[in-house]
Homo-oligomer: A and B are copies of this chain.
Amino acid sequence: MERNIKLTIEYDGSHYHGWQCQKDVASVQETLSKAIKKLTGEDIMPEGAGRTDEGVHAYGQVANFRTKSSIPAEKFTPALNTHLPEDIVIVSSEEVDPNFHARFSAKGKHYRYIVLNRPQRSAIWAKRAWHVRGELDFEAMVKASQYFVGRHSFKAFCASGHNIKNFERTIFLSQWRREGDLLIFDTKGEGFLYNMVRIMVGTMVDIGKGRFKPEVIKEAIETGERNNLGVTAPPYGLYLMEVYY
């Protein structure tokens, strides 16, 4: 009998070309697929909830796969971990309903973005945060972040080249906090468009630099125009924290 197994996965994305399997480069998905093959002998490509880009990290990526193996669901955690490299770990595993799909069943996601704001780069946060030099107007960034909350069209916050028709998304949380030199942005929403969190953060950092006023967010949401917005923040400051079902 085939069972549907849900995995919660943590990874340091520094050495992977993102989640999704691609030809000739290392991906988290393919590394996981190989570990499953070693364990059960099956050729399985687990489906992930979020297709994180190259360099993006995850504390709580979710994936599912169907298996004929008789291994108890919770035993997949320690068993897969013995076949995974140091920078990928299964945090938990459980059997789920046959209809569960990591991506299509997801009700929401929590992303975090970490900015390091100080004159010098960091040795310890090198691949884990975006280093931004120069003073930032943190209050302006906080004000800007509040315009995201609610149900809006986020067309202006979506990388082009994707065949998406519905740009409406609901954001539940959009919040900055400061820990020493680190500026930490948490956002939770029912879903995010391609590169959306990175464009949100890049624009808010430009607001912090004084290039735009916080109200530019409100205008971009209303007009759907990308051309006035700031840079796309780099991937290595981004963390997929949790997926909600």
Contacts and interface: CB of A to CB of B under 8 A. Distances in A.
A19 interface: no
A77 to B, nearest CB: 6
A57 interface: yes
Contacts of A119: 77
Contacts of A122: 10, 89
B124 A57 contact: yes
A28 to B, nearest CB: 10
Interface stretch (A62-70, A80-88, A150-158, A195-203): A80-88
A178 interface: no
Contacts of A127: 86
Interface in A93-138: 119-124, 126-128
Contact of A10 (B81, B91, B92, B124): B124
A242 interface: no
Contact of A89 (B59, B92, B120): B120
Contact of A120 (B12, B90, B124, B126): B90
A125 to B, nearest CB: 9
A89 B121 contact: yes
A89 B123 contact: yes
Interface string A204-215: 000000000000
A20 to B, nearest CB: 18
